[in-house]
Structure 1
Amino acid sequence: MDQIVLLVEMMLVGNADLPCFAGGKKAVVEGLRSRLKPGARTSTCQMFVNQLIDQSINNWRTRWYDKYQRACLGIL
């Protein structure tokens, strides 16, 4: 988890004006840490990831992103 947070902190340098960083460094890093479920048991993390996958299946955003990938980048 710390490596992922470090990468995001490095991306913040010079890119703080990006919409995904709109809350500021502290809010972005704290939000990321909380979403990564620190201290959660492996089974809890697995359930959480499976729920995310279930939510993305047949989601309109997922379908349109897949269409974009296919049309523009040739990625299925």
Structure 2
Amino acid sequence: MNLEARKIEFVQEFLKLQNEEAVSRLEKILRKEKNASNERIFEPMTQEELNKRIDKSESDFRNNRFKSSSELLAKYE
């Protein structure tokens, strides 16, 4: 059985479910898989992008455009 046929069969069985707890568990699994899939798509930045980000960060620091760690922590307490 190919993947498309398996997915169709799964959806048909899912639609027959009457147990809300089972639906919730399957939703949780789907979200978990979706998040894991998104993490695998991660593309690292190029050396040029990294250097530009470093330059901007250094410029922001020189021009006092930053928050200290204590300011950040206070925001979330």
Provide the TM-score with structure 1 as the length reference. 0.34
Provide the TM-score with structure 2 as the length reference. 0.33
Compare the two structures and name the one with the higher helix fraction.
2
Larger of the two Rg values belongs to structure? 2
With a CA cutoff of 8 Å and minimum separation of 6, indicate the structure with the bigger relative contact order: 1
